[in-house]
Chain A
Amino acid sequence: MIDEPRIHDYGDGANVHKKVSLEFGDMGEGFKEADLIREDILFYEGNTHLPMEQHAAVAHFDADHKLTLWSATQTPHYVHRALAKTLELPASHIRVIATPNGGGFGGKSDPFNHEIIVSKLSMMTGRPVKVTLTREEVFYCHRGRHPVLMKIRTGVKKDGAITAMDFQSFLDGGAYGSYGVASTFYTGALQTVTYNVPRYKFRGLRAFTNKPPCGPKRGHGTPQPRFALEVHLDKIAEELKLDPAEMRLKHLVQPFSVTANYLRIGSMGLGKCIEKVVEGSEWKKKFSNWDRENRKLPEGKGVGLACSSYICGAGLPIYWNNMPHSGVQLRLDRQGGVCVQCGSTDIGQGSDSILAYIVAEILGIDPFDIRVITADTDLTPVDLGSYSSRVTLMTGNAAIQAAERARELLTMAVAEKLSVPIENLSFADRRVFDVENPETGVTFAEAVVLAESKFGTIGTVGSYTPPRSPGRYKGAGVGPSPAYSYSAAVAEVDVDASTGIVTVERIWIGHDIGQSINPALVMGQVEGSVYMGLGEALMEEMTYRANRNVVHKFPSLLEYKSPTTLEMCDVVTYLIEDRDPNGPFGAKEVGQGPLLPVMPAIANAVYDAVGVRIDEVPITPEKVLTALRDKAKGREARFGPKRVPDVEWPQPLKVLTPAEGGDGKEMPRVAVHS
């Protein structure tokens, strides 16, 4: 092997940041059982978060040599750690406050240069220092969606049952690591959690290139493989002449099961999501059924379906430790006020209010009675941050624990005062009362006074640590989650054959939220996801000028094309509530999952409309028109990549699947003599 210079001192060598090779089960046997083996190559172009507000940070190093940083960050705890390390200050002398941040979508998750710069400058000058990025600089900070080239090979039975799946992904990482190792694993982790995949192989590679670094954007590493998988399944359904909705419904992963790659599935409402969108969209009356001659919709109009799943919080933190992922502190005061403190960061998704709803529910008071203090490393216990759709589930569980502990103290004090048995006391309508005799009771504020008189100042804590994953192999850390959300979408499109312009007319989307704690917030996330999905599907791309030192082609809001309200389609949302035992009140995530089915549903709908496969996003008019012309000339009616690079993959790490009697650990490596 040639000794190539390394780009960074971390990574797997030369320009390779990470190389992964995992194999679950006997692939040979899996493909042998198949009636059909199909292989597809697809590409997902990179795009960026495009938050409304640019990043900004202010630091102040004060007279007693303590540093405070106010920053538009999604992860104050990780920024806190990064500052302690780079500034060589004791962490206890640093305070990080996450401010309202004008949109994050993953783009404000890395500790950034400007956060360190303002801190250092303030230490040097003793004055407050502020940096606000220009829009152009936000494009360069990026950490957005990785461009990913993918090859997927799947064996299926005649009824669409998957016998084996082999997935390869090639990630263009840009200049730095960011969370790129996790991104790489995520391009291979969640293929198994929607439909039953008995044997699975994944190889992934992330390369460094001369571009702004890629990182986590909504869906982190999973929209790309999900796009590939769902388009690939559509093609399989066509080859098998099966209805793509029915084919999927038939082979759903079982609830409360463990997948071939050792992800533990909890509640699983995907079937209901599919049924809802099929019914709502009148799929049966619209879908061509692969028969172009006897179409139900006019030529140029089409429908497409796709599904997805997403984690409700990463099972592991980004640095190894045994502590909780989320902590909540409650303080009850004599006036009946309740203060919830938690390190979580509200980035517009409404996570602050979730804390209030949950505590109010348990203490029987109104959410408006609650004061919420979050995202301040001095005032609030650690929460790892707003990423991986972890916040409602993890802070919610921690809040439940803290509130239940407070309720217990109040119950004891009130029971004593009223001389009623503890189990008779209930909390509702700002009262604590005897359920058998509701007039007998005290106000919530009186209950707090009684408890404080009995026990002293009332404060409780709660924390949450995700359950341990059954996977024990190296690489098992990415993918496990306390629960998985599910989504299904049908897109209806209009394709203008003379221009190639695709208009998405309507999207029906079903999302299994477990339990919606505030349906308005849930719907907001679903509709916002559809909006973001339209952009990724149709126009957004991070592109560079090869002829001019790879400069970003158009780092501006005007020329980086993202949909306006005029491009937004109608959205019909169905919330499926299949409670998950691990979620607070059964709740699962909604911040990222509903984005995932949008892109493949649109791609599949374009095929239904005009009979050309666009195997890469964005699906631009240029690509559609090129494919239509090729089709007219009798060439392959497809636009997309044709090959993947030849890579010397490391020998795969082999793991027996649960069905094969595996224990989640990798098999001992056998030396290959050849």
Chain B
Amino acid sequence: MMRLPKFTYRVPRTVADAVKMMSDAGAEGQFVAGGTDLYPNMKRRQQTPKTVISVTRLKELNQIAGDGRSGLRIGASVSLTDICEHMLINRDYPFVAQAARTISTPILRNMGTIGGNLLLDTRCNYYDQNYEWRKGINFCLKKDGEVCWVAPGSRKCWAVQSSDLVPLMVAVGAKLKLVSTLGERVVDAAGLYNDDGIDYLRKRPNELLTEIQLPPRNGWRATYKKLRRRGAFDFPVLGVAARLDLSDDGTVKDAKLILGGIAPAPVEVKEAEQALIGAPLDEERMQAAAESCYMKARPLDNTDFLMNWRKQMARPYVLRALQELREQ
């Protein structure tokens, strides 16, 4: 059995306390929500905070407010199970519930939160291993080592953005509220992710994510398609989030196509979006968009499945997402 290292566990009741505790803990502090990502990482000694500050008892972080007309605000500590089952989310933002339902297993969704999901550590087959295994290969760049075994020539870590909700949040233009002792700020989801497997968030470590804000649903539609080996447990090895804004005559006014699970950050495929905007959503356009996504997808050999096959899957998965949006 793998055991957790020793740490101090703190449970603040207010946001102010939480950020204060974090500022006191300094570089050795880390927030935890459901712990389904952090605790396994701690057992494998990938992350070793000395102070762990729980965000699950913060009232503001456990609320869902608003609706499809005004926009929806989801507290960061809301569990994935609640996201899947929430009446308003299922009515006004069904794609969010749909994507959340593809995350791991029901048991894990009971613990895992939406905030934790959006801040999930990047993943790699050379990294998500226990200490002895990693030691056996002399570690790697992301933790304790010198070389990236996926791309030994590179000075960058290519660990993969593996959250199912991240591409979708970027596609729909969600905003995230971050709070620290210095104050609060609201950022675009798109701006939060950095294309570097180590430094994967454009967020200071002491910032608390309190809220996810979904924009009002004035006409646009969205969906998420996930590629994985099995119908449960597995992280995405390709995620396709698509959002379309169609005018009454069926012309695409605006489009967003975001690929997850293939790079350290979600990948926006502008070429595919351009292929769709300004024209009706016909088979030829959709094929063109799928082709652009295929060109842009450059997964490496650090997840399940062969990378070449994952790249090829961009075509059918993008096509399926667009076909579904056309039918919606």
Contact = CB atoms under 8 A, between A and B. Distances in A.
Contacts of B229: 539, 561
A136 B2 CA distance: 10
Interface stretch (B12-20, B164-172, B305-313): B305-313
B230 A551 contact: no
A556 B128 CA distance: 10
B247 interface: no
Contacts of B136: 548-549, 551
A495 interface: no
Contact of B149 (A134, A548, A625): A548
- Interface of B, secondary structure class, is loop
A566 B133 contact: no
Interface string B220-242: 00000000011111100000000
Contact of B125 (A554, A566, A622): A554
B316 A545 contact: no
Given A136-B132, A136-B133, A564 B125 contact: no
Contact of A566 (B1, B128, B149, B230): B230
A304 B233 CA distance: 30
A409 to B, nearest CB: 51
Contact of B309 (A136, A545, A564, A622): A622
B222 to A, nearest CB: 23
Contacts of A566: 230-232
B105 to A, nearest CB: 8
A567 B229 CA distance: 10
B316 A559 contact: no
A555 B133 contact: yes
A642 B234 CA distance: 33
B130 interface: yes
- Interface of A, secondary structure class, is loop
A437 interface: no
Contacts of B233: 558, 564
A136 B230 CA distance: 21
B133 A551 contact: yes
Interface in B229-270: 229-234
A196 B137 CA distance: 51
A625 B125 contact: no
B306 to A, nearest CB: 5
A563 B309 contact: no
Contacts of B1: 132, 134
Interface string B103-135: 000000000000000000000011011101100
Interface residues of B, number: 27
B312 A625 contact: yes
B137 A548 contact: yes
Contacts of A553: 125
B130, B137, B230, B231: most-surrounded residue (chain A CB, <10 A): B230
B171 to A, nearest CB: 22
B88 to A, nearest CB: 28
Contacts of A549: 136-137
Contact of A559 (B2, B125, B232, B309): B125
A53 B134 CA distance: 24
Given A564-B231, A622-B309, A499 B304 contact: no
A498 interface: yes
A556 B137 CA distance: 16
B306 A622 contact: yes
Interface string A62-90: 00000000000000000000000000000
A539 B228 CA distance: 12
Contacts of B304: 559, 561
Nearest to A499: B316
A567 B137 contact: no
B112 to A, nearest CB: 14
B309 A625 contact: yes
Interface string B273-291: 0000000000000000000
B328 to A, nearest CB: 21
B136, B229, B231, B315: most-surrounded residue (chain A CB, <10 A): B229
Contacts of B2: 134
A621 interface: yes
9 contacts: A136-B133, A545-B137, A548-B149, A549-B136, A551-B136, A559-B128, A564-B230, A566-B230, A567-B230
Interface of A: 132, 134, 136, 498-500, 539, 545, 547-549, 551-556, 558-559, 561, 563-567, 620-622, 625
Given A548-B126, A552-B133, 17 more contacts: A134-B130, A498-B316, A539-B229, A545-B137, A548-B149, A551-B133, A551-B137, A553-B125, A555-B129, A556-B129, A558-B233, A561-B229, A563-B230, A620-B305, A621-B309, A622-B308, A625-B312
